Copies of this chain bind each other. A is one copy, B any other.
Amino acid sequence: MTDMNETLNQWLRDAHAMEEQAEQMLKTQASRIESYPELASRIRQHLEETRSQRERLESCIERRGASSSSMKDMAARMSAMMQGMGAMMSGDEVMKGLLTSYAFEHFEVASYRILISAAEAVGDAETARVCEAICREEEAMASWLADHIPGVTQTYLSRESADLDEAKR
């Protein structure tokens, strides 16, 4: 018989591994984007948020007395997923990056919604509260990206048609 509390612990570890991968992805993106300063700035801001999210998840895991032993396994699986996504980023790099980031933010949003339901099911109000706060930050990032898709697309297309190197990065 699997205890609901143990399942929640496992999912919190998964989320922690997810934020570690997010940190790597955002770092790479921030270092590559050169000609879209507003996008680069929002990504750097979210990188800071992501580090704080990882720490807040660590506090939940510790407070619940859960071990972090199986984090490596999930991190490896997440890494495979991100490599797959990364394989799509060639040529029009900034566009594929935008697409991947937007999808990944929603992967995170869904993860936190699952965690909130699970935390409520076991009566862990503090974990539910932390996950709700993190979820709002992910939603804000996703929403910012959605709002900026038209502008970035138009800029990319004009630069590309003018044959400017700065289109892609």
Say whether B81 contacts A77, CB under 8 Å: no
Say whether B117 contacts A149, CB under 8 Å: yes
Q: State the oligomeric state as a number of copies.
A: 2
Give every chain B residue within 8 A of A160 (Cβ-Cβ): 2, 4, 7
Give every chain B residue within 8 A of A102 (Cβ-Cβ): 106-107, 109-110
Residues of A84-109 whose CB lies within 8 A of B = 84-85, 87-88, 90, 92, 95, 98-100, 102-107, 109
Say whether B87 contacts A99, CB under 8 Å: no
Is the interface on chain A under 10, 10 to 19, 20 to 34, or 35 or more residues? Answer: 35 or more
**Interface-central residue, A1, A3, A83, A113, by most chain B CB under 10 Å:** A113
Nearest opposing residue in chain B for A14, CB measure: B88
A142 to B78 Cα, complex, angstroms: 22
A118 at the interface (CB under 8 A from B): yes
- How far in angstroms is the closest Cβ of chain B from A137? 16
A82 to B84 Cα, complex, angstroms: 7
Say whether A149 contacts B81, CB under 8 Å: no
Say whether B150 contacts A113, CB under 8 Å: yes
Given A149-B110, A153-B121, A161 contacting B1 (CB threshold 8 A): yes
A163 at the interface (CB under 8 A from B): yes
Question: Measuring CB to CB, which residues of chain A are less than 8 angstroms from any residue of chain B?
Answer: 1-4, 7, 77-78, 80-85, 87-88, 90, 92, 95, 98-100, 102-107, 109-111, 113-114, 116-118, 121, 142, 145-146, 149-150, 153-154, 157, 160-163
